[in-house]
Amino acid sequence: MIKPIRNIGFYFILIILTPILFFIAKEIYSLSENEAVLETIYKNQMETLLFSVNQYSEDLVRSWGMKLEIWNNDVSPSNSEINYKSKKLFEANPAIRSIFFADTSLSNIRLDYNKDKILMNRNSQEIKSILENNYLLIKKLRVYKKNNFTKFEPVSSRTSPQIQILLFMLGDKNICGMFIDKQKFVRENLSSKLQSISLDEFIVSVYDSQNDKNIYSTSNSIQKEFVQKGNLWLIPSYSLGISVQGKNLNDILRNRTYSGIILISVLAIMVLFAARYGYKNIKQELELAQIKNEFVSNVSHELRTPLALINMFAETLYLGRVKSDEKRNEYYGIIQQETERLSKIVNKILNFSKIEAGKWKYNFSVQDLNELTGKIFLNYKFHLENKGFTFTFIPEEKILEADLDTEAISEALVNLIDNAVKYSDERKNIEIRTGCDSNSVFVEVEDKGIGISNDDQRRIFEKFYRAQSGNIHNTKGTGLGLTLVKHIIDAHKGKINLISVLNKGSIFRLTIPVIKKS
Ligand code: ADP
């Protein structure tokens, strides 16, 4: 029996658990893959945001350049009109500190507007040297311009590090340069763009990449660690950094992984529980099937023995082979005894099937448990004493009234007495006692028989169950008696208590609650 169950357990694990465990392992693996994909997407998204900041600043500077170009085309650079208009542009954008125009031969250099006149000694000579030093760059700008593209090239100022010079072509022949205050440009021209892309999700910061000094941040708290970094195209000494508001990306991913793993673990535990439950059920079914087989063979055996005896003695009598009246009476007695035994077995099985089908009808009425037990005792006394038993009844002195189905309680009691007889060994002592307390009445049957092991005590009330120890093979039984007793006591809302010690004996007590009259 154990081996097939083990085999089933093995196949069960193979067929059901293996694919599920594979699935769980795959899920854990794909979880980390997903995290990696997510991280890449996230980083790409941030890169796009940084790109948009650069694009914005270039568009802004381009719009300034275009204005200057239009004015330059309209009038000659020396016209006072251009001075007036560019003055307005400077005033609206404090980041533009000064601007110069030069022809490509560098012979005509004009500083148009200089807000830092006092601070910086900006003159034609200085500008000329800047232009000369960036000769190749200017050549490139001219090529771009020829192809209709105005490119802005950042050039650093040796004399004032806080200034970024932006060179570009104004028409074919004029070079223009803007002196931009780096910090002002970031704080006044870029801040609104930075705020708009940061939303509530990100913190965008601009910092000086040479000394890590924070120039501007969309949050009050200064960030040092960024998920993504990039240069500011027009101010190469400045960098842009982006980080996630509150938790950083790693925290979010870690949380996601944890919750994923927790979810999968819960799933795995549930699967294991379900598998265990399934295995237990299959095991129980197999055991029941086995027990039923034993039951059929037990019952067949129980029926065959009395039938064979009845057949033998009836035939002997029928053929007139028994001469003496004494013998004849003895044989009649045996036939009667065996018939009784047969009908007991059949009744037990019929009662059990009635109970299983829910067709057993109880008829409750107020009865005295003492009186009922006394009657059964008397019925059994002669028979048991004949078999060599000491059979006693110690009744409670009081009347033990309770709501009882007398037929059912008699059946339960008879079953207990039958068992006490069956499972008594050499010490043939059976005692019945009744008693009560304020809430209940009880009857108990004690024997000095083979007793029941602790393990079996838990199972003997299950249908068809027969304890494997003791003299089970010598005693006949169906494994239904105690199931009937339990059902009957349950119907009376009572309980069964069992005290049993192997090789010492057992006490079965049936307790039935008393319905108090109000
Ligand atoms: P059975 O027809 O086998 O007696 P029961 O349901 O009446 O079936 O009892 C179930 C099992 O409980 C028995 O097979 C026996 O092993 C054990 N048992 C019941 N009563 C006693 C007892 N008084 N002493 C020892 N074992 C008992």
In this predicted structure, what is the pLDDT of residue 73? 66
482 Cα nearest atom in ligand 1: 6
* 495 vs 246, higher pLDDT: 495
In the reported structure, the alpha carbon of residue 229 is separated from the centroid of ligand 1 by a whole-number distance in angstroms of: 83
pLDDT in tens, 293-346: 878 887 888 788 889 989 999 999 999 888 899 999 999 999 998 898 889 888
- Report d(CA 202, CA 243) in Å as an integer: 6
Sign of the C-alpha dihedral, residues 168, 171, 173, 176? Answer: negative
- Report d(CA 445, CA 260) in Å as an integer: 60
pLDDT in tens, 419-442: 999 999 889 999 999 999 989 999
Q: 206: which strand partners?
A: 216, 240
Local confidence band at 100 (pLDDT 50, 70, 90 cut-offs): confident
Mean pLDDT of 352-364: 86
With a cut of 60, say whether residue 518 has pLDDT above it: no
C-alpha closest to that of 460 among 449, 470, 468, 448: 468
Q: Tell me how long the chain is.
A: 518
pLDDT in tens, 168-178: 998 888 899 99
Q: Is 478 in the pocket of ligand 1 (CB under 6 A)?
A: yes
In this predicted structure, what is the pLDDT of residue 517? 56
In the reported structure, the alpha carbon of residue 6 is separated from the centroid of ligand 1 by a whole-number distance in angstroms of: 28
Q: Which two tokens stand for residue 276?
A: 């265990």
Q: Is 96 in the pocket of ligand 1 (CB under 6 A)?
A: no
Residue 394 and residue 433 in contact, taking contact as beta carbons nearer than 8 Å: yes
Q: Whose CA is nearest to atom 8 of ligand 1?
A: 479
Q: What is the CA radius of gyration of the chain?
A: 53
Testing ligand 1's pocket by substitution, the residue of 419, 454, 457, 462 carrying the most ligand atoms inside 8 A of its CB is 419
Alpha-carbon distances of 449 from 43, 89, 291, 404, 462, rounded to whole Å = 82, 116, 24, 29, 21
Testing ligand 1's pocket by substitution, the residue of 415, 469, 482, 499 carrying the most ligand atoms inside 8 A of its CB is 482
Do the bridges between strand 174-181 and strand 163-170 make them parallel or antiparallel, or are there none, so unpaired?
antiparallel
Residue 99's φ and ψ, nearest 5 degrees, are -145, 145
Residue 216's φ and ψ, nearest 5 degrees, are -155, 145
- Report d(CA 324, CA 322) in Å as an integer: 6
Testing ligand 1's pocket by substitution, the residue of 423, 432, 474, 509 carrying the most ligand atoms inside 8 A of its CB is 423
* 73 vs 129, higher pLDDT: 129
Q: Percentage of the chain with pLDDT > 70?
A: 88
Q: Left if phi > 0, otherwise alpha if psi is -120 to 50, otherwise beta: which for 463?
A: beta
484 Cα nearest atom in ligand 1: 6
- Report d(CA 206, CA 185) in Å as an integer: 11
Q: 365: which strand partners?
A: 404
With a cut of 80, say whether residue 75 has pLDDT above it: no
Q: Which two tokens stand for residue 407?
A: 């037929």
Helix axes 191-198, 18-74, angle to 10 degrees: 160
Residue 407's φ and ψ, nearest 5 degrees, are -65, -45
Q: Is 466 in the pocket of ligand 1 (CB under 6 A)?
A: yes
Local confidence band at 118 (pLDDT 50, 70, 90 cut-offs): very low
In this predicted structure, what is the pLDDT of residue 365? 94
In the reported structure, the alpha carbon of residue 404 is separated from the centroid of ligand 1 by a whole-number distance in angstroms of: 24
Q: Left if phi > 0, otherwise alpha if psi is -120 to 50, otherwise beta: which for 148?
A: left
SS3 of 266-316: HHHHHHHHHHHHHHHHHHHHHHHHHHHHHHHHHHHHHHHHHHHHHHHHHHH
What's the burial of 94, exposed, middle or buried (CB within 10 Å: 0-12/13-18/19+)? Answer: middle
Q: Is 467 in the pocket of ligand 1 (CB under 6 A)?
A: yes
Q: Is 446 in the pocket of ligand 1 (CB under 6 A)?
A: no
Cβ-based neighbours of 399, under 8 Å, separated by 6 or more:
368, 370
In this predicted structure, what is the pLDDT of residue 119? 42
Residue 112's φ and ψ, nearest 5 degrees, are -85, -40
Sign of the C-alpha dihedral, residues 350, 353, 355, 358? Answer: negative
Which amino acid is it at 428?
Answer: K
Q: Is 370 in the pocket of ligand 1 (CB under 6 A)?
A: no
Three-state SS at 358:
coil
What's the burial of 182, exposed, middle or buried (CB within 10 Å: 0-12/13-18/19+)? Answer: buried
pLDDT in tens, 249-260: 667 777 877 887
505 Cα nearest atom in ligand 1: 24
pLDDT in tens, 81-93: 556 666 777 788 8
Q: Is 450 in the pocket of ligand 1 (CB under 6 A)?
A: yes
In this predicted structure, what is the pLDDT of residue 197? 84
Cβ-based neighbours of 442, under 8 Å, separated by 6 or more:
369, 434, 435, 436, 509, 510, 511, 512
Residue 112 and residue 175 in contact, taking contact as beta carbons nearer than 8 Å: no
Q: Is 447 in the pocket of ligand 1 (CB under 6 A)?
A: yes
- Average of per-residue pLDDT values in the chain: 85
Q: Which two tokens stand for residue 316?
A: 């002997």
In the reported structure, the alpha carbon of residue 457 is separated from the centroid of ligand 1 by a whole-number distance in angstroms of: 10
C-alpha closest to that of 421 among 387, 466, 467, 392: 387
Alpha-carbon distances of 54 from 62, 161, 205, 262, 464, rounded to whole Å = 12, 21, 13, 42, 85
Residue 362's φ and ψ, nearest 5 degrees, are -95, 140
Unique residue bearing structure tokens 């009880």: 442
Q: Whose CA is nearest to atom 11 of ligand 1?
A: 466
pLDDT in tens, 225-234: 777 788 899 9
